[in-house]
Amino acid sequence: MSNVLNDRPRVGKETRARVLDVVAHLGYEINLTARHLRAGRTDTVAFVVPGFQTYFDEIADRLAAAFGAQGRHLVVESTGARPENELAALSSVRLSMYDGVILSVAGLTLTEIEGVRTTAPLVLLGEVEVPERFDHVMLANAEGAALATARMLATGSRRIAIAGGDPGGPHDGAGMAAIRRAGWVRAHEGAGLTADPALVAPGAGVGPEVGREAVRHLERSGVDYDGVFAVTDSTAVGVLAGLAEAGRRVPQDVQVVGFDNLDLAEFTVPGLTSVDPGRDAVAHHAARLLQRRIDGATPEPEHVVVPVRLVERGTTRAS
């Protein structure tokens, strides 16, 4: 029976047919868990994310295709960006459930990550500093934010607000929003201008509500602004809603640039100019680095920074 169920070629056709008839009659099922334990693999990898957001959905699609081509399944878990959940995902018990894990770090500090001791196949994503011994893939966040801001400065904006870049949180100065805020400041300095702190709209986190509330705050405060850099596309969607609510024309009165170049950016009205963070490259490098660890290779860890580009649509003025 074992030779038939494992599809070994030396079994004759008649014998194979008789065994399969018996299997069907008895309702026998293969214990895949036991098989995987014996083989030392599960044929499953995990993608652990801070939350089920569109950006991570699109990365997951690409990872599923990459690992599916290798005969592996992708499982997606959410940590809610909570440090204890991220640490749990890195526990030996959890890591043993998969052939490998890709973790997007949002809540852990460098010190906490340094305390993780594992030789299991693991790749880290995200903007938090990580120990040199781990493979790490991150975006060129500051460069992308500077690119977005510089584009609006080049087409006439001089008072560019930032939505989603409010200081605060466990990684202020090192997290995604803080790094993109630094890029916003850098672009102003490069143009010989000063980024006005009054143009940093309050509001922790990202998302449409954060973006809309950012515009409402700017309107209530009476601060002069003629551009908005939204640290994510989902935040930019809220910015566009807030500007429409305020009667502001885009891009005539206020230019807007997002970050992520999500599929939805093409379908906002006007179409959203956005920084493309290279999702294909992120997924490619994450899958490549994890696969070599799964294969048992022990190369030097890689720290990959994926380059960005600006995709221009209707929320910015023509050059």
pLDDT-based confidence at 36, cuts 50/70/90?
very low
pTM to 2 decimals?
A: 0.82
Model pLDDT for residues 249-305, shown as the tens digit of each residue? 999 999 999 999 999 999 999 999 999 999 999 999 999 999 999 999 888 999 999
Domain assignments of the chain as residue spans, ordered by start: 2-30, 41-139+278-306, 141-276
Residue 127's pLDDT is what? Answer: 84
Please determine, for residue 167, whether its predicted confidence score (pLDDT) is greater than 70: no
Residue 204's pLDDT is what? Answer: 74
Residue 319's pLDDT is what? Answer: 82
Nearest to 255 by CA among 164, 186, 171, 159: 159
Crossing angle of helices 233-245/208-221, nearest 10°?
40
Asked whether the domain spanning 141-276 has the same topology as the one spanning 41-139+278-306, the reply is: yes
Q: Which CATH architecture has domain 141-276?
A: 3-Layer(aba) Sandwich (3.40)
pLDDT-based confidence at 165, cuts 50/70/90?
confident
Are the C-beta atoms of residues 74 and 60 closer than 8 Å to each other? Answer: yes
Greater confidence, 30 or 155? 155
Please determine, for residue 52, whether its predicted confidence score (pLDDT) is greater than 70: yes
CATH superfamily of this structure's domain 41-139+278-306: Response regulator (3.40.50.2300)
Q: What number is the average pLDDT over the span 130-148? A: 96
Residue 63's pLDDT is what? Answer: 97
Residue 226's pLDDT is what? Answer: 98
Per DSSP, which regions of the chain are E strands? 44-49, 73-78, 100-104, 122-125, 135-139, 160-163, 227-230, 255-259, 273-276, 303-306, 309-311
- 55's CB contacts (< 8 A; 6+ apart) are 232, 233, 234, 260, 262, 279
Are the C-beta atoms of residues 86 and 108 closer than 8 Å to each other? Answer: yes
